[in-house]
């Protein structure tokens, strides 16, 4: 995680060996991340206590092999709770030579696309809320 002015870029992927969301965020063993959603939320809350206007962005992969509807709903809950207002979101695609390339991909493409569209719509809505709240404010852009 790193800070750039009022913006924080956060890598947000984790889960267990089976691709289950459980208490972790996304795909820990498969994607080599190691923190729980509770730890992640705590970090963001601390950052927002110092910078209340923090803009939160992350990369999101939908349709990772083994992702269930419940997993996706937990992702949406975190995106909404933490108020992400920017993202680089895409549908999982296997890359040759990576551990995930050999995982069975059993989620239909249409389902992945619907999930991606829903995620993007939620984040866009949150971004609009942030932008509207800033109308009339004077912000320092460069120093």
CATH number at 12 reads 3.30.750.200
Tell me the pLDDT band of 32, cut-offs 50, 70 and 90.
low
0.85 surpassed by pTM: no
Tell me whether residue 142 is in a domain.
no
Look at residue 106 in the predicted model and tell me its pLDDT. 84
Domain encompassing residue 11? 2-134
Q: What is the spatial distance between Cα 98 and Cα 108, in angstroms, rounded to a whole number?
A: 21
Q: What is the spatial distance between Cα 38 and Cα 100, in angstroms, rounded to a whole number?
A: 25
pLDDT tens by residue, 69-119? 998 998 999 999 999 999 999 999 888 998 888 888 888 999 999 999 999
Tell me whether residue 24 is in a domain.
yes
**Mean per-residue pLDDT over the chain, rounded:** 78
The structure tokens listed for 54 are 């923090």
- What b/e readout covers 78-102, taking b as 16+ CB neighbours within 10 angstroms? bbeebbbbbbebeebeeeeeeebee
Tell me whether residue 106 is in a domain.
yes
Tell me whether residue 141 is in a domain.
no
In sequence order, which residues have a C-beta less than 8 Å from that of residue 97 and are 6 or more positions away?
none
Q: What is the spatial distance between Cα 78 and Cα 41, in angstroms, rounded to a whole number?
A: 8
**Token pair 């795909």: residue:** 27
**Alpha carbon of 19 to those of 40, 72, 111, 127: distances in Å?**
18, 12, 17, 29
Tell me whether residue 107 is in a domain.
yes
Tell me whether residue 140 is in a domain.
no
Tell me whether residue 139 is in a domain.
no
Q: How far is CA 115 from the centre of its chain?
A: 13
Number of domains present in the structure of the chain = 1
């Amino acid at each position: 995680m790193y800070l750039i002015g009022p913006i924080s870029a956060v890598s947000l992927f984790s889960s267990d060996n089976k691709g289950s969301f459980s208490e972790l965020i996304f795909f820990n063993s498969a994607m080599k991340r190691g923190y729980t959603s509770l730890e992640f939320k705590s970090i963001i809350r601390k950052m927002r206590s110092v910078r209340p206007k923090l803009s939160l962005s992350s990369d999101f992969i939908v349709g990772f092999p083994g992702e269930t509807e419940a997993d996706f709903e937990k992702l949406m809950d975190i995106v909404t709770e933490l108020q992400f207002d920017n993202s680089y979101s895409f549908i999982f695609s296997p890359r040759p030579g990576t551990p995930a390339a050999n995982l069975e991909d059993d989620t239909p493409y249409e389902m992945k696309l619907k999930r991606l569209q829903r995620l993007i719509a939620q984040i866009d809505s949150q971004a609009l809320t942030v932008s509207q709240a800033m109308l009339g404010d004077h912000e320092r852009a460069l120093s």
